[in-house]
Amino acid sequence: MAENPNRIPVKLPSLAFVVCLLISVSCWILVTLSKEYKVSYDYKLVCENLPEGRKSITASDTVITLTFNQKGVIYLTQPFRVKEKTVTVSVSDLIKPKNKVTVYTFTNKELCDYLNTHNFGSELVSVSSPEVITFYLR
């Protein structure tokens, strides 16, 4: 078979170019996966462990938005990525420092401190919304 004279020859990339490309892609992946991210997730608030003599509780918000600090690899494989995200709050433990009344109001800072000690630990940065949450006991 004779070669076609109108055919343009294709040049393969040099070995040095391929090696540099692999090194740069590896560095990019390393930097991306070691970077720290702030991510926010919506959680359904579930209340349990009511104080003695109380029958039910109503919260002003049933969904709270939590912000976390996460590293790249953990961010990609985090267990927080489940579809049904819930936060269980022990009402007795939460209202313990407050006076005995039927309406309890907590700022997002107070709720964040509680969740840091009881649920999430140091990964939790803040409670983004709501600014204030109120629990009504009956």
pLDDT of the chain, 138 residues: tens digit per residue: 556 667 777 677 788 888 999 999 999 988 888 888 788 888 899 888 888 878 888 888 889 998 888 777 666 665 556 677 888 888 888 887 777 788 888 888 988 988 888 887 777 888 888 898 888 888
Query: How many helices (H) and strands (E) in the chain?
Result: 4, 7
Stated pTM of the model: 0.69
Domains of the chain: residue spans and CATH: 36-137 (2.170.120.30)
DSSP 14-30: PHHHHHHHHHHHHHHHH
Quick check: bond before 130 cis, omega within 30? yes
Phi first, then psi: give them for residue 12, nearest 5 degrees: -80, 145
